[in-house]
Amino acid sequence: MSTSRGIRNNNPGNIDFNPRNKWNGQLGLEVGVPRPRFARFDEPENGIRALGRLLLNYRGKDGMPGVGGPGIDTVRETINRWAPGHENDTEAYIASVAKALRVKPNDIIDVRKPDVLRTFVVAIIKHENGAQPYKPEVIEEGIRRALA
Q: What is the DSSP string of 47-104?
A: HHHHHHHHHHHHTTS---TTSSSSSS-BHHHHHHHHS-TTTS-HHHHHHHHHHHHTS-
Percent of the chain with pLDDT over 90: 91
What's the CA gap between 33 and 107, in Å, rounded? 38
What's the CA gap between 56 and 147, in Å, rounded? 8
CA distances to 59, 96, 136 from 45, in Å: 22, 23, 11
Helix (H, G, I), strand (E, B) or coil at 16: strand
Q: What mean pLDDT value characterizes the chain?
A: 96
**Which pTM was predicted?**
0.95
Burial tier of 127 (Cβ tally within 10 Å: 0-12, 13-18, 19+): buried
Answer whether residue 84 shows pLDDT above 90.
no
What's the CA gap between 59 and 3, in Å, rounded? 32
How sure is the predictor about 17, in pLDDT bands with cuts at 50, 70 and 90?
A: very high
Answer whether residue 1 shows pLDDT above 60.
no
At 74, give phi and psi (nearest 5°): -130, 165
Q: Classify the C-alpha dihedral 21-38-100-141 as positive or negative.
A: negative
pLDDT of residue 63: 92
Q: Average pLDDT of 114-132? A: 98
Q: Average pLDDT of 44-70? A: 95
CB-based contacts of 141: which residues, under 8 Å, 6+ apart? 45, 48
Q: How far is CA 34 from the centre of its chain?
A: 24
